[in-house]
Every structure is written in structure tokens, then in C-alpha cells.
Amino acid sequence: MFKTILLAASADHACDNAAKSAFRLADLTNAHITVFHVLGMPAHGFSQEVIDVKTGEKVEASEEYISWVKEEIKIYYAKQFEKTKSFDIKIAVGMPYREILREIKNGRYDIVTLGGTSKEKISVYKKHMLGSTVLRVAKASPIPVMVLCRPSSSFLKNISSILFCADFSKESDAAFNFAANLAKFFNCNLDIFNVADISPVFSKNIIEQDEIDSQISAAYKKIEEKYIPHTKNIIKTVANVCEGIPYVEIVKYAREKNSSLIVIAHHNKENENFGSNMEQIIVRSASPVISINK
């Protein structure tokens, strides 16, 4: 399923959860793992002073420093590396999200894994940027992006079911294919889930229950037509639609179903909506979330 996995992480606790999932995924799929660490923005000109993303301190991005960082990462993930088929460590200098995207572009990765960043250390470099590294990578990445911020009970130990959040867009179709393939590969259940968004009620736009009902039945029909025909080789596929605030319902549903993985499409149409929904799911979900862009 995956040959190479890119783990974009600094060797600290903020990334632990994502790292664990990435290594587990590498284990499951017998993949090569590349740990990618971005040192930060260089001070100007050609002075090699960079602001370390992890510590926020000014450091010299000399060869010695870089090899020291590599060594740190090696020690930090020593246990995991033991079990991994093969791995390598790469260091880059620049704006983290940009360098991650550059690495994705230049390398041949099948999936990229990201962790959260520790909020209190946000450096001045980020202040003028909109959105987080995760959202920016998710928006532009041509490969699936797996994110996990919270500790998970399973860390993919047992992949029993995959939750696919459908929204019927073009990107969503791609996400479905990916989710279906995963379900086939891991030989597990697939939950197809759609939420009829009722968030307009908060701006006092009352939605009639009839309208919600018709939305729900339309969604069922779409799932039936679009996705179910492609689920023949999956052991069990369940479709479910309900009304609510999308991210709340998705997180709730994933918990209920004990989903091992959540697959969600990233699409640009409702950019802002996506941003907040996606972010909320990532922040709240106890399962890794995979975002698909194209």
C-alpha cells in the first residue's frame, strides 16, 4: 500500500502521536520511512543562523549542528527505528510547511504524516502566516496527509474499520478510492458517513426538518449510486447519514464506531468551512485523520 512514508516531525512530544502512527503504518505496510525536520528560517543574507523551530532559539545551521540534530532524532526514535525496515533522516532550512511541500514534490512519497506543534513556542515567523502548517500542507499536498494530534488508544494497532467522510465532491471521490483501497488492504470495515450541515441555524436560519430529511435521503441515494458499487471486495460497508455540525458528528461517529482511521477530502470550494471543520476534526479526533486533496 505504501512504499515510502514521510514523517515531518521535530523530535519532541508534540509530534509523538503522529510519529507513533507513522511508524506503525510503516510497520504494517513494510514501508521505508523518512523523518523530515525543518530547522526554521535563516537569518538574512547568508549567515547560517536559523531560528530553531523546536526551541525558538537562534542556532547556527552548520554541518555540525545538522548532524547533531540528526543524531538527536535517531536517539529520540531509536526504538521505532529498530523495528522499521529502512529509514533515513533529512534536514531542511526554511518555512516548515513550504519545505515539507517541497520535499513531497521532490521525493517519491506515498503519504506524509504530520504532528501538532506546541502552541506556546510559536515564533514570530509564524505570526504573519495564516493557518497552521498542517492546514497549509493539507491544502496543497498532492499525496495523502495523515495527522494526529491527540493520543490515540490504538495507534493503528488493530485496524478494524475506516471512516470515510463523504461530501460528494471530486476530491471526495478520490478520498473514497483511497479509503476503499485502505479497507481492502487492511481487510477491514468501511464506514461511509455524511453529515447534513445544520450550522446555518446558528445564524438564526431555521431549517425545516423536511428539508433536512430530504437532504439526508438524497445523501443516502448518492452514496448508494456513487460508492457502494465499488465496495465489493470490502468485507463490510456501512453507510450512514445524519444531521448536525459536521465535525462534531464525525468525531462522535468515529468514537462510536471505534474507527481506526478517518479519511476526509480536502476541497477548496468551501475553503473557510473546510478549514475550520478539518482543523476541528484533527484537534479532537483520537484517530489519525487522513486528508486527500487530489
Q: Which parts of this chain interact with another protein (CB under 8 A)?
A: 41-49, 60, 62-63, 94-95, 98, 101, 105, 123-125, 127-128, 139-140, 268-269, 271
In the complex with another protein, the residue whose CB is nearer, 57 or 256, is: 57
In the complex with another protein, the residue whose CB is nearer, 2 or 274, is: 274
In the complex with another protein, the residue whose CB is nearer, 60 or 213, is: 60
In the complex with another protein, the residue whose CB is nearer, 171 or 243, is: 171
The region that residue 168 occupies, defined by phi over 0 for left and psi between -120 and 50 for alpha, beta otherwise, is left
Q: How far is the CB of 128 from another protein (least distance, A)?
A: 6
| Helix (H), strand (E) counts: the chain | 10, 12
In the complex with another protein, the residue whose CB is nearer, 94 or 244, is: 94
Q: How far is the CB of 60 from another protein (least distance, A)?
A: 6
Q: How far is the CB of 225 from another protein (least distance, A)?
A: 20
Q: How far is the CB of 96 from another protein (least distance, A)?
A: 12
What is the DSSP-derived secondary structure letter of residue 118? -
Give the whole-angstrom CA distance, residue 54 versus residue 76. 14
Give the whole-angstrom CA distance, residue 201 versus residue 213. 15
In the complex with another protein, the residue whose CB is nearer, 95 or 183, is: 95
Concatenated DSSP letters of 204-267: T----HHHHHHHHHHHHHHHHHHTGGG-TTSS-EEEEEEEE-HHHHHHHHHHHHT-SEEEEE--
Q: How far is the CB of 267 from another protein (least distance, A)?
A: 8
CA atoms within 13 A on the CB side of 281: 31
Q: What CA–CA distances, in Å, run from 205 to 85, 244, 253? A: 55, 14, 26
In which element (H, E) is residue 58 found?
A: strand 58-60
Concatenated DSSP letters of 130-161: -S-HHHHHHHH-SS-EEE--S--SSTTSS--E
Q: How far is the CB of 294 from another protein (least distance, A)?
A: 9
